[in-house]
Amino acid sequence: MTGAGALSGRWAGRGARGVLSGLAAVGLALTNLPLLALSIAVLALTPVPFLGLALVPWTMSLVRMRADLERRRASRTGVLVSRPYHPAPERAMAGGWRRFRWTVTDPATWRDLAWLAPGAVVGCGLGAVGVLVPLYGLAGLTLTPLWIWIGTGWYGYGASWSIDSFAEGLLCVPQGAVILAGGLAVAPWWRRVDAHFAHLFLAPTKTAQLRLRVTQLTVTRADTVDAQAAELRRIERDLHDGVQARLVSLSMVIGLADELLDRNPAGAHKLLAEARESSGAALVELRHLVRGIHPPVLAERGLGGAVRALAIGLPVDISVEVDLPGRPDTPVESAAYFAVAETLTNLVRHSHAHRGSVILRHTNGVLTIVVTDDGTGGANPADGSGLRGIERRLAAFDGTMTLSSPPSGPTVITMELPCALSLPRTMPSSATD
């Protein structure tokens, strides 16, 4: 009974959300026609100097806001509708020719305008049906007491054209229950039909998808080249300032020891001892440098084991949950590891958290990494906290990062990388993962 009650509760909640969504659809659809009228009036003023340049982009931005809202509402029903707009050109000032041309030459602008009128009709119609049918069922459940209060012969319901007795009034209850249940069951589907209709107009065309994909690849590849160049400069700097300097010093010490070997054996032995210490320090620095390029623990134990080893060394209590039936390709695995490492570094430095968690799982061809903490929140990629670097690192593999960090916390960072997993590799240390 408990399971059946929970199932019916979820069903009723889903239906109620569908009804509320239908009510919102009616309200939003009513704004389409004023927007369309405003757009037509503003477009008619385009030949007026300066007025059209200023008003057309501003009005189209309102239309895009309305269309974006409809795209988000459609996406909540499971119908993904991406934004199809051209990226804004550089130095596109408000009221300028660049911004005006960018707006009116984008085919998505005219598809938005073409959707306003039919979207208003379909949105109002389907939303009204989704709301009125459950309300009619609810009215049937309440008509019996109303019949007692008002009297007979005043109204009819369902299959009864007129209610002339208490028995006929009672027939409203089962009819109302059936209509209410049916309305709640169908209300979410009306929203999906509306979402599919919006998809016809507001989703990018194949040409737009190709263009957006080319733009995205151009940006991500440029970011990848810049990141690789910066990484090479970092390695060169570390080699020059660290290991290379120690090796030069080591060579000089060994040369001095060679000169003192015959004249001052004790001094030569002392210099050789210093050279031994310097060679050990150089080896340690070299190992750290190699670990920054590709950590040995990642190659030996895989992503899950490497993240566990990373979490153990942090001053914050980090729990790690791994559900990976295999291993990603080496470049993807390395990108995921360093993204987690950078995220945990930010957690320790900026979040003031007492505990956190890392969840790694692979479902439907996507590696998902969720990092959470109980800190103060307020993380912002624009603050230079390394989150932009994580986005660029993931974007090189068509990955994404989603951040949720309200001022009071908690912070939740979700990273997704599309990839395939190979068969698990058997390693001597795999039993300890």
Range scoring the smallest mean pLDDT among 160-164, 197-201, 378-382: 160-164
| Residue 415, H or E segment | strand 411-418
DSSP-assigned beta bridge partners for residue 368: 361, 416
222 is written with which tokens? 């440029």
Query: How many degrees, rounded to 5, is the angle at CA 429 between CA 300 and CA 416?
Result: 50
* Angle formed by the axes of helices 51-76 and 107-150, nearest 10°: 60
136 is written with which tokens? 């009619």
C-alpha span between 401 and 416 (Å, rounded) = 7
Question: For the chain, what is the radius of gyration of the CA atoms?
Answer: 33
pLDDT at 254: 79
pLDDT tens, 19-30?
A: 888 899 999 999
Of 230, 212, 215, the residue nearest 389 (C-alpha): 230
pLDDT of 173 strictly over 60? yes
DSSP-assigned beta bridge partners for residue 416: 368, 400
C-alpha span between 319 and 420 (Å, rounded) = 25
C-alpha span between 149 and 264 (Å, rounded) = 120
pLDDT of 357 strictly over 80? yes
Residue 241 DSSP class: I
pLDDT at 430: 39
pLDDT at 86: 79
Q: Pick 58 or 270 by higher pLDDT.
A: 58
Start-to-end CA distance of the chain, whole Å, equals 41
pLDDT of 197 strictly over 70? yes
Identity at 363, one-letter amino acid code: T
* Contact yes or no for 22/128 (Cβ under 8 A): yes
pLDDT of 401 strictly over 60? yes
pLDDT tens, 243-255?
A: 667 777 777 777 7
Confidence band for 154, pLDDT divided at 50, 70 and 90: low
Residue 382 DSSP class: G
pLDDT of 308 strictly over 80? yes
CA atoms within 13 A on the CB side of 20: 6
Mean pLDDT, the chain, whole residue set: 79
C-alpha span between 380 and 108 (Å, rounded) = 31
Q: Centre a 10 Å sphere on the Cβ of residue 432 and count the other Cβ atoms it contains.
A: 10
Does 428 sit behind a cis peptide bond, omega within 30 degrees of 0 on the bond before it?
A: no
pLDDT at 1: 45
pLDDT of 62 strictly over 90? yes
Question: How large is the average pLDDT for residues 169-192?
Answer: 85
C-alpha span between 224 and 107 (Å, rounded) = 30
C-alpha span between 25 and 343 (Å, rounded) = 39
C-alpha span between 37 and 172 (Å, rounded) = 44
C-alpha span between 182 and 191 (Å, rounded) = 15
C-alpha span between 275 and 251 (Å, rounded) = 8
pLDDT at 426: 45
pLDDT of 32 strictly over 60? yes
Confidence band for 217, pLDDT divided at 50, 70 and 90: low
Confidence band for 431, pLDDT divided at 50, 70 and 90: very low
311 is written with which tokens? 């979490």
Question: How large is the average pLDDT for residues 274-302?
Answer: 71
Phi, psi of 164 (to 5 degrees): -115, 0
* Angle formed by the axes of helices 387-395 and 330-350, nearest 10°: 170
Question: How large is the average pLDDT for residues 294-322?
Answer: 86
Range scoring the smallest mean pLDDT among 2-16, 252-266, 402-416: 2-16
pLDDT at 35: 94
pLDDT of 369 strictly over 90? yes
Integer angstrom CA distances of residue 147 from 2, 125, 159, 274 = 36, 31, 16, 104
C-alpha span between 64 and 60 (Å, rounded) = 6
Identity at 413, one-letter amino acid code: I
- Full-prediction pTM beyond 0.75? no
**Measured on CA atoms in the order 327, 330, 336, 341, is the torsion positive or negative?**
positive
Q: Which residues contact 44 (CB under 8 A, 6 or more apart)?
A: none
Q: Pick 256 or 312 by higher pLDDT.
A: 312
Q: Pick 428 or 114 by higher pLDDT.
A: 114
